[in-house]
Amino acid sequence: MIPASRLQSRLAAAASLLLLAALLLLPRHVESPYALHVLILIFLSTIMGQAWNILGGYTGQYSVGHAAYFGVGAYVTASLLLNRQVAPWVGMWAGAAAVVVVALVIGSICFRLRGPYFVLASIAVTEIIRLTATNLKDLTNGAEGLLATDIPPLKVGATVLTDFGTKVPFYYIALGMAVLTVLATWVVERTKLGYCFQAIREDQDAAHSLGINPAFHKNVALVISAVLTSFAGAFYATYVGFVDPPTTLGLDLSVQIVLICIIGGIGTLPGPVLGACILVPLSEVLRSNAVPELLVKWGWMNGDSGAGLFLKENLAHAHVLIYGILVVLVILFMPEGLVGFFRRITRGRRAA
């Protein structure tokens, strides 16, 4: 008789494989570049959220400055592509190398601090990086940003795999990176490294007294998290083709990364995935005015009525407001995020 928890995890694994298969086959059946674009955004958010999760969720170090790693990865990749025609799949490793240095420096500053002070320091450091990038115009082109859109074709030997003319190659690359990031988290969760991380999260001093070196482990977590985030940045720079300081190094981005994890479920494997699947479509749906259009189509609302006009005019602008409301609701009523919420109800049902 297979115990219930093992059955559950086997079901989860099977479901994940099914989902993966579906995602792999999707581009053959879905032509709409817009749909692919939304999925790519979801994958990107998953990567960012999952990467943060390793440091924030498993090790308990809440960095609200992860945009630093994203931005450095994005800028290095874009700069190499634009100025030296270095292909992004090479450039991203240069970005990763740069980010390791940045992460270790930031770690040496911030890890001396605990709790809320760590949070504040992480914000300050990223703001300094953002302002520096904005001011060092010779290096980064400042606020004008870097426009790098000529991606060299991806070749194996003499055969061209893709010239990046459509969204499809980006889709598969993003999907691949997302899967790798999830796998990396899964590995971390199950190895001794992961146990050390979680011990530090629960009680750093107790962990220390048990022989776990907090400084070493926190830095390892940070480096892993930073490198994965920088890959997301490198992908973003290649996909969007344009990087500038407010978008890639801004506080808004750092907050968004944290939100993905919080809403989904911090410190859990499916958490960031869930968070990404909710936040990205939500923002797109709201921005594109699909909700009022649907309501009108279904006849629930008259498009020209006062309420109708108000919604049409304002719902698109309101997506950040809805983010905010979601965050408040989640923190107050579902602090472990949606994953935690689901686990609680399923646990309750089994117990009953």
Partner 1 sequence: MDVFLQSLISGILLGGVYALIGTGLTLIFGVMRIINFAHGDIQMVGMYLTYLLFVHLGIDPFVSVLITFPAMFLFGGLLQRVFINRVLDALPQNQILLTIGLGLVMSNTAMLIFTSDYKILTTSYSSGSLKLGGISISQPMAISFLITVAITAALWWFLKKTDTGQAIRATAQDRDAARLMGINVRRMSILAFGLGSALVATAGALISPTYYIYPQVGSAFTLKAFVITVLGGMGSIVGAALGGVLIGIAESLGGAYISAGWKDVVVFAIFLLVLLVKPSGLLGKSAA
Partner 2 sequence: MTRSLLALSLVLGLSGPAWAQALKIGVINSMSGPEAPIGENLTNGIKLAEEDLKKQGLQVQIVWEDDTGVPKIAMSAMEKLATREGVTGIVGPYTSACANAVSKLAERYKVPLLVPAAAKEEITRQGLKYVFRMNAPADVYASVLVDAALTMGKPKTVAFIYENTDFGNSTSKTAKEYVAKKGIQVVADESYSKGAQDYRSTLTVIKSKNPDLVFLVSYVADAILLMRQSKEVGLKPQAFLGGGAGYTTAQFAAEKAVSNFVFSCTQWTDDVSWPGAKEFGARYKAKFGKEPTYHAACAYASMMVMADAAKTAKGDKDRTQAALKAGKWNGIMGEVKFEDYAGFNNQNNHTMLVQQLFDGKYETVFPAKFATKKPVFPFPGWK
Interface with partner 2 (CB under 8 A): 32-34, 37, 131, 134-135, 137, 142-145, 147, 149, 165, 240-242, 244, 247, 284, 287-288, 316-317
Residue nearer to partner 2 on the CB measure, 180 or 316: 316
Residue nearer to partner 2 on the CB measure, 145 or 270: 145
Q: Which does 165 bind (CB under 5 to 8 A by kind): partner 2, partner 1, none?
A: partner 2
Closest residue by Cα to residue 81 from 296, 271, 242: 242
All residues at 6 or more sequence positions from 22 whose CB lies less than 8 Å from its CB, including other chains: none
190: left (phi over 0), alpha (psi -120 to 50) or beta: alpha
* C-alpha span between 330 and 335 (Å, rounded): 6
Residue nearer to partner 2 on the CB measure, 48 or 220: 48
Window 272-311: contact mask with partner 1 (x via CB under 8 A): ----------------------------------------
Q: Is 48 exposed, middle or buried (0-12, 13-18, 19+ CB in 10 A)?
A: buried
Q: Is 104 exposed, middle or buried (0-12, 13-18, 19+ CB in 10 A)?
A: middle
> Which residues, 82 to 111, sit near partner 1 by CB under 8 A?
109
* C-alpha span between 170 and 160 (Å, rounded): 15
Closest approach, Cβ 289 to partner 2, in A, equals 8
Q: Is 321 in the site for partner 1 (CB under 8 A)?
A: yes
Using DSSP's 3-state secondary structure scheme, residue 151 falls into coil
Q: Which two tokens stand for residue 348?
A: 């309750």
Q: Is 117 in the site for partner 1 (CB under 8 A)?
A: yes
Residue nearer to partner 1 on the CB measure, 167 or 201: 201
Q: Is 135 in the site for partner 1 (CB under 8 A)?
A: yes
Residue nearer to partner 2 on the CB measure, 198 or 247: 247
Closest approach, Cβ 278 to partner 2, in A, equals 18
**Cα three-residue angle 92-94-97, rounded to 5 degrees:** 110
| Cβ pair 131, 67 in contact under 8 A | no
What residues are paired with 162 via a beta bridge? 154
| Span of 90-98, 131-139, 238-246, 344-352 interacting with partner 1 by CB under 8 A | 131-139
Closest approach, Cβ 244 to partner 2, in A, equals 7
Q: HSE (CB half, 13 Å, CA atoms) of 333?
A: 6
Closest approach, Cβ 340 to partner 1, in A, equals 12
What residues are paired with 242 via a beta bridge? 147
Q: Is 314 in the site for partner 1 (CB under 8 A)?
A: yes
Q: Is 249 exposed, middle or buried (0-12, 13-18, 19+ CB in 10 A)?
A: buried
The residue ranges that bind partner 1 (CB under 8 A) are 56, 62, 64, 109, 112-117, 119-121, 123-125, 127-128, 131-132, 134-135, 251, 255, 258-259, 262, 314, 317-318, 320-321, 323-328, 331-332, 335
